[in-house]
Amino acid sequence: MPVDHKRINGPDETYPYSLYAKTNKQSLNEKHEDIKRTGQRSDSRTFLEHRKIFIKTGVVSQAKGSAYIELENTKVIVSVFDPREIPNRPDYSLKGEIYCEFKYAPFSCNKRRLHIQDTEEKQYSAIMKQALESTVCSHEFPNFQVDIYAMVLHNDGSCLSAAITAAGLALAHAGVPMYDIITSVSLGIQQDNLFIDPTNEEQSICLYPRTLDTDHGNVIISKLHMHNQISQFYQSGNISLEKINEAIGILDKTCEELVPVIQKYLVKHVIRNLKDREAK
């Protein structure tokens, strides 16, 4: 693994001490058992309830467009920069391209993240690109590339979907021509329980199967609202066809529920801009 020698790196092999602490530690199985018994999640949401969203644009003054999103404890900041010529490309491309970079801040997770993108972050960048590629009108900026950077400041589950939703808003804020509003939602599955917008703990509950031959896993979907199209779909774990169908239906509905929040914010943004212009 390559190491950045200009920074002061910690020792090669370190692990968070919490892994070895025994006090006050309920196993994930017990936690799931609790949730199943009470029918209520640890933050007293129902299973199909999304967390409250806070969004704001224009948080990075140097970027063309930027957005900040909070799903309670999950905090992601996304910035979009001016189009520039596609680097290292000899021939002229009729379509524009987008470049996505998804990064966890070193302090955002339980375990410290390195400054270099790891495989998970690279994969998430690819998923983000897949989601946003069909949202922007790439023929409007031929031979140019728009850079999108997402930085997770605090990871409490569903980071990727938060980043995609925020990136859609940041692109709109940057004035990049787009076909549609994009919203993205995650879902965790463990046995018969479906967790919409899972927290970090719920995501880890869904990571491992509890018994042989049960459904478990995580699903992320991104949707273009007006066109009713799914621009990105990613699932991991072990899930039966029926469960996936059910999950797609639920995620589809939840994506729709997020649209008014984004729309409202965009309208507010336009009104503010018009007022600013009048004032000038």
Partner 1 sequence: MALCEAEKTFVLHGVEENFRVDGREREDYRPMELETDIVSHAFGSARLRLANTDILVAVKIEVDVPFPESPHQGKIEFFVDCSANATPDFEGRGGEDLAVTISSTLSSAYSSSLAFDLRKLCILHGRKCWKLYVDILILECGGNLFDAVSLAVKAALWNTQVPFVKNINIDGNNVEINVADDLYACERLDVKKAPVMVTVCKIGDKCIVDPNAAEEQCSVGSVVVAVSGNKFSTVYQTGKGSLHPSTLIESLKLGFEVAKRLDEALWETLSQIQPDQDVGFLK
The pattern of x and - marking residues 147 through 186 that bind partner 1 according to CB under 8 A reads ----------------------------------------
4-43: which residues touch partner 1 (CB under 8 A)? 15, 19-20
- State yes or no: residue 239 binds partner 1 (CB under 8 A): yes
| End-to-end C-alpha distance for the chain, whole angstroms | 54
Distances (CA, A) of 86 to 30, 124, 127: 51, 21, 20
235 is a contact residue toward partner 1 (CB under 8 A): yes
Please choose, out of 39-47, 61-69, 78-86, 235-243, the segment that lies near partner 1 by the rule CB under 8 A: 235-243
Tokens 């939703």 locate to 165
Instruction: Give how far the C-alpha of residue 15 lies from the chain's centroid of Cα atoms, to the nearest Å.
Output: 26
Q: Of 45, 112, 229, 266, which one interacts with partner 1 (CB under 8 A)? A: 229
Q: Total residues contacting partner 1 (rule CB under 8 A)?
A: 38
| Shorter beta-carbon distance to partner 1: residue 60 or 176 | 176
- Within 193-222, the residues that bind partner 1 by CB under 8 A are 208-209, 212-213, 215-217
φ/ψ of residue 277, rounded to 5: -65, -40
In this complex, which beta carbon is closest to partner 1, that of residue 122 or of residue 264?
122
**DSSP H or E run through 222:** strand 216-224
233 is an interface residue for partner 1 by CB under 8 A: yes
Asked whether position 58 contacts partner 1 by CB under 8 A, the answer is no
Kindly tell me which of 68 and 195 has the beta carbon lying closer to partner 1. Answer: 195
Query: Does residue 245 touch partner 1 according to CB under 8 A?
Result: yes
Tokens of 45: 């949401």
Q: How far is the CB of 66 from partner 1 (least distance, A)?
A: 25
Q: Pull the structure tokens for residue 56.
A: 């704001």
Site for partner 1 in 100-139 (CB under 8 A): 119-120, 122-123, 126, 130, 133-134
Let me know: does 182 contact 164? Beta carbons within 8 Å: yes
Given candidates 35, 176, 187, 224, which one binds partner 1 under the rule CB under 8 A?
Answer: 224
Q: At closest approach, how far in Å is the CB of 111 from partner 1?
A: 8
Are the C-beta atoms of residues 132 and 182 closer than 8 Å to each other? Answer: yes
* Alpha-carbon distances, residue 131 vs 127, 162, 163, 182, 240 (angstroms): 6, 12, 11, 8, 24
| Residues facing 194 on adjacent strands | 189
By CB under 8 A, residue 252 contacts partner 1: yes
Contact 143, 221 (CB under 8 A): no
3-state secondary structure of 131: helix
Length of the chain equals: 280
By beta-carbon proximity to partner 1, the closer residue of 77 and 220 is 220
CB 80 within 8 A of CB 174: yes
Q: Footprint of partner 1 on this chain (CB under 8 A)?
A: 15, 19-20, 119-120, 122-123, 126, 130, 133-134, 208-209, 212-213, 215-217, 224, 227-241, 244-245, 248, 252
